[in-house]
Chain A
């Protein structure tokens, strides 16, 4: 017992510098940095509400430091603990003493583990103890996940580095090999799709999802013990698989370390092994990431958009096409912007040639088109009845009312081949709109009707005469259509009820589609037959349209596909969804095109991807042969997705 105590004392004495470094790193620096920021904010805003908030900022910084530098700290600690006594003559000295090698390694490991726990859990405990304010809603849960998710991952890295230290017995080489292992442990679960519960980033993601679904109120400065006892039971089910794997693997590494030292196992890590292992790990991770988010669709043709008679280029913000001919809506490159928008031009194009011929543009008038984020997805449609007619919803603002529309009209554009399009009709919709709406968009276009949602008003336009659309009497308030969940499942309930709009003489399927688009305003959805697909940054969800009654329709949630961590990291919000022949084409704001196979709606899967590199695209159209036309700074034709049976 006295011998063990002496060994513990020796280890504590030798590890004290790591302990102090950990305290400085995870408590001192966050606290000092947060205090500095606090002074800066106070100097800028003396009347601000910063009383003791800098401690909360220090807690957040401390969590960030534990996440980013915790692994490195664990490696240095483990390598220092092992290589100090296992290299050269010191090891020979220890072998001459009456000490069991296994006991010595266990003591070393336990002291290193204690240092990790003290500097991480201790940092959080001290910072929460001195904090007197109320935590923002997400912080307590993130703290618990850090303490019981990130710290076990640090322990796993520590154990792996400990094992490598015992095998290699040279500090620098063991540290480099451990770095390769730590990179794998941290990032492999992010680039290789594994269940969220088995990766730390996945746990954070589950937490984020849960907090979005049910935001918790601010927590009034509890102690760390109070938080843990309150929150751990609710998170325990989430954490058990992760904890089992990390702690189990750590225990195995400890056993192997003891065996390695007892039996004298050695790993000859020369420069070649170190270099190749580090480069190999980085390249494998990179390749795995590229396989997941890289392109597997090729660009067949790429064209600059140069309208005839124009010297400069053209930026297309909207496109509609039948596959051979079509209309581009946009503005010349280097056009002047102001707060009210830009003068929009319409060009006809012809794709039948090997080159893209674009007619000269015709001015449609000034329209809102906020740079980059805005496009004409909801503002340009092609008449299903007359493919040579397109309708553009022109919205206008002025400097006096930057947040409201001051003009709203439906512009009918006629095309003929690739000759210059003409404006054949303008329908002023503004008088029919109640109030001054912030925005307006086309909800749905059928063969004979066009539905426009403008603020709280739903306008119905008759397309009986394709060259002279007319406003009908059907003007409704949009909040008469809404979506509710059935049962107790909340947002994830299997059945949803859609309240239908009271529109007259509209076929049921069309009524469901219009009502759905009004109810899901702001969401990215599309319908094909009785299948409805909704996509957002996090997931793709499929619904089947069930019974349609007099004023309601039932939707059954039948499948979903969660975006992987890497997909979420690379892709941004989706901006356009087109459902065609069982494939869902999704274009997002980071100009990535993803294609999902929803022919089996219960299990949608991602089948193709096109990353446009540096190109910018605002709109897309799926052509009859399955290829995709992307329109933006260029027009690109992307090859069709080839699927097996």
Chain B
């Protein structure tokens, strides 16, 4: 049953994955071929913008579209617990966000072969951005899960993004007075993996983000199961 569910989600979402691949890979490869800017600026500029924007696009119709089209009750009536249904959706959504980055990372390494930036640095940029995209995806999904239409789900996602940006500005300007662990909560702190000298902070950030993401998923699954019962 789970395999069929995965297949259904894959058929519905794969075009986004291809779109993500074309968008990110196209931008990066055109930029790297043109060489108008340094390689690392092209790579990091493209992938970080992608990691911030694409989760919004990936999560806005995962549940809301089912609700708008009236297929959510049918989905809930399947002999599967609600959290498993949500887990499948999350897994496919994460793949939509992360697979284009993996594909672009491979293409970038093959094209540049360390001509300016080292392969390690490029992989760290892609790794950090992939983690950021995954965590942002979970945040947005957790908050827009119960929206009735895609448009409203998108608006909630934008609000989550706006809160992230405002809190980032707040953290950056008050960093002297804000405790270290508070900064670790912010998803953008995951980008610190780009800087290997910050290993001690990386060791603190990753567990915090992992716990936070799991907590958000559990909360989302709880709301989704209640939603399913109501349906």
- Closest CB-CB distance, A590 to chain B, in whole Å? 9
- A283 near B30 (CB under 8 angstroms)? yes
Taken together as a complex, chains A and B put the C-alpha atoms of A289 and B36 apart, in Å, by: 10
- B35 near A613 (CB under 8 angstroms)? yes
Taken together as a complex, chains A and B put the C-alpha atoms of A612 and B36 apart, in Å, by: 7
Tell yes or no: B19 within 8 A of A by CB. Answer: yes
Tell yes or no: A3 within 8 A of B by CB. Answer: no
By beta carbon, the residue of chain B nearest A286 is B30
Note all chain B residues with C-beta closer than 8 A to A299.
115
- A287 near B30 (CB under 8 angstroms)? yes
Tell yes or no: B110 within 8 A of A by CB. Answer: no
- B23 near A283 (CB under 8 angstroms)? yes
- B39 near A272 (CB under 8 angstroms)? no
- B26 near A613 (CB under 8 angstroms)? no
From A276, A295, A302, give the contact of B33 (CB < 8 A). Answer: A295
From B16, B31, B41, give the contact of A614 (CB < 8 A). Answer: B41
- B15 near A294 (CB under 8 angstroms)? no
- Closest CB-CB distance, A173 to chain B, in whole Å? 11
- B34 near A283 (CB under 8 angstroms)? no
Interface size, A (range): 20 to 34
Tell yes or no: B37 within 8 A of A by CB. Answer: yes
- B116 near A279 (CB under 8 angstroms)? no
Note all chain B residues with C-beta closer than 8 A to A302.
115
Note all chain B residues with C-beta closer than 8 A to A294.
30, 33-36
- Closest CB-CB distance, B212 to chain A, in whole Å? 30
Contact with B along A221-256 (1 / 0, CB 8 A): 000000000000000000000000000000000000
Contact with A along B9-34 (1 / 0, CB 8 A): 00000011001001100110011011
From B15, B39, B57, give the contact of A613 (CB < 8 A). Answer: B39
Tell yes or no: A194 within 8 A of B by CB. Answer: no
Tell yes or no: B38 within 8 A of A by CB. Answer: yes
- A279 near B22 (CB under 8 angstroms)? yes
By beta carbon, the residue of chain B nearest A280 is B22
- Closest CB-CB distance, A232 to chain B, in whole Å? 39
By beta carbon, the residue of chain B nearest A287 is B30
Tell yes or no: B2 within 8 A of A by CB. Answer: no
- B19 near A613 (CB under 8 angstroms)? no
By beta carbon, the residue of chain A nearest B39 is A613
- A613 near B36 (CB under 8 angstroms)? yes
- Closest CB-CB distance, B56 to chain A, in whole Å? 13
Contact with A along B40-66 (1 / 0, CB 8 A): 110000000000000001000100000
Near B by CB (< 8 A), chain A positions 17-75 give none
From A172, A272, A293, give the contact of B36 (CB < 8 A). Answer: A293
- Closest CB-CB distance, A466 to chain B, in whole Å? 41
Note all chain B residues with C-beta closer than 8 A to A613.
35-39, 116
Taken together as a complex, chains A and B put the C-alpha atoms of A612 and B57 apart, in Å, by: 35
Contact with B along A259-302 (1 / 0, CB 8 A): 00000000000011001100100010011011001110001001
Tell yes or no: A204 within 8 A of B by CB. Answer: no
- B27 near A283 (CB under 8 angstroms)? yes
Given A276-B19, A614-B116: A293 touches B34 (CB 8 Å cut-off): yes
By beta carbon, the residue of chain A nearest B61 is A271
Judged by DSSP, the binding face of B is helix
Contact with A along B119-141 (1 / 0, CB 8 A): 00000000000000000000000
- A279 near B38 (CB under 8 angstroms)? no
From B30, B38, B116, give the contact of A290 (CB < 8 A). Answer: B30
Taken together as a complex, chains A and B put the C-alpha atoms of A290 and B32 apart, in Å, by: 10
Note all chain A residues with C-beta closer than 8 A to B78.
none
- B33 near A290 (CB under 8 angstroms)? yes
Note all chain A residues with C-beta closer than 8 A to B38.
613-614
Tell yes or no: A611 within 8 A of B by CB. Answer: yes
By beta carbon, the residue of chain A nearest B117 is A614
- Closest CB-CB distance, A180 to chain B, in whole Å? 14
By beta carbon, the residue of chain B nearest A289 is B34
Tell yes or no: B111 within 8 A of A by CB. Answer: no
- Closest CB-CB distance, A405 to chain B, in whole Å? 37
Note all chain B residues with C-beta closer than 8 A to A612.
35
Taken together as a complex, chains A and B put the C-alpha atoms of A172 and B149 apart, in Å, by: 14
- B36 near A570 (CB under 8 angstroms)? yes
Taken together as a complex, chains A and B put the C-alpha atoms of A289 and B34 apart, in Å, by: 9
Note all chain B residues with C-beta closer than 8 A to A272.
15
Taken together as a complex, chains A and B put the C-alpha atoms of A287 and B27 apart, in Å, by: 9
Taken together as a complex, chains A and B put the C-alpha atoms of A613 and B43 apart, in Å, by: 13
Taken together as a complex, chains A and B put the C-alpha atoms of A283 and B38 apart, in Å, by: 19
Taken together as a complex, chains A and B put the C-alpha atoms of A283 and B33 apart, in Å, by: 14
Tell yes or no: B151 within 8 A of A by CB. Answer: yes
Taken together as a complex, chains A and B put the C-alpha atoms of A502 and B36 apart, in Å, by: 46
Taken together as a complex, chains A and B put the C-alpha atoms of A172 and B116 apart, in Å, by: 42
Note all chain A residues with C-beta closer than 8 A to B15.
272
Taken together as a complex, chains A and B put the C-alpha atoms of A611 and B71 apart, in Å, by: 53
From A275, A276, A279, A290, give the contact of B34 (CB < 8 A). Answer: A290
- Closest CB-CB distance, B53 to chain A, in whole Å? 12
Taken together as a complex, chains A and B put the C-alpha atoms of A448 and B16 apart, in Å, by: 70
Note all chain A residues with C-beta closer than 8 A to B116.
613-614
- B19 near A295 (CB under 8 angstroms)? no
Note all chain B residues with C-beta closer than 8 A to A570.
36
- Closest CB-CB distance, A279 to chain B, in whole Å? 5
Contact with A along B131-160 (1 / 0, CB 8 A): 000000000000000000001000000000
Note all chain A residues with C-beta closer than 8 A to B34.
289-290, 293-295, 611
Taken together as a complex, chains A and B put the C-alpha atoms of A289 and B30 apart, in Å, by: 10
- Closest CB-CB distance, A270 to chain B, in whole Å? 10
Note all chain A residues with C-beta closer than 8 A to B57.
275
Taken together as a complex, chains A and B put the C-alpha atoms of A308 and B127 apart, in Å, by: 39
Taken together as a complex, chains A and B put the C-alpha atoms of A613 and B37 apart, in Å, by: 4
Note all chain A residues with C-beta closer than 8 A to B35.
294-295, 610-613
- Closest CB-CB distance, A571 to chain B, in whole Å? 10
Note all chain A residues with C-beta closer than 8 A to B39.
613-614
Taken together as a complex, chains A and B put the C-alpha atoms of A475 and B15 apart, in Å, by: 76
Contact with B along A431-443 (1 / 0, CB 8 A): 0000000000000
By beta carbon, the residue of chain A nearest B41 is A614
Taken together as a complex, chains A and B put the C-alpha atoms of A487 and B16 apart, in Å, by: 64
By beta carbon, the residue of chain B nearest A293 is B36
Given A172-B151, A614-B41: A283 touches B22 (CB 8 Å cut-off): yes
Contact with B along A90-109 (1 / 0, CB 8 A): 00000000000000000000
Note all chain A residues with C-beta closer than 8 A to B27.
283, 286
Q: A283-B23, A295-B34 are in contact. List 19 more A-B contacts (CB 8 A).
A: A275-B16, A283-B27, A286-B27, A286-B30, A289-B34, A290-B30, A290-B34, A290-B36, A294-B30, A294-B35, A294-B36, A295-B33, A295-B35, A299-B115, A570-B36, A611-B35, A613-B38, A613-B116, A614-B40
In the assembled complex, 24 residue pairs joining A and B whose CB atoms fall closer than 8 Å, in A order, are A276-B19, A279-B22, A279-B23, A279-B26, A283-B22, A283-B23, A283-B27, A286-B26, A286-B30, A290-B33, A290-B36, A293-B34, A294-B30, A295-B35, A610-B35, A611-B35, A613-B35, A613-B36, A613-B37, A613-B38, A613-B39, A613-B116, A614-B37, A614-B41
Give residues in B with beta carbon < 8 Å to A: 15-16, 19, 22-23, 26-27, 30-31, 33-41, 57, 61, 115-116, 151
**Can you list the 8 inter-chain pairs with the closest CB atoms, starting with the nearest?**
A294-B34, A614-B38, A290-B34, A295-B35, A611-B35, A283-B26, A613-B38, A611-B36
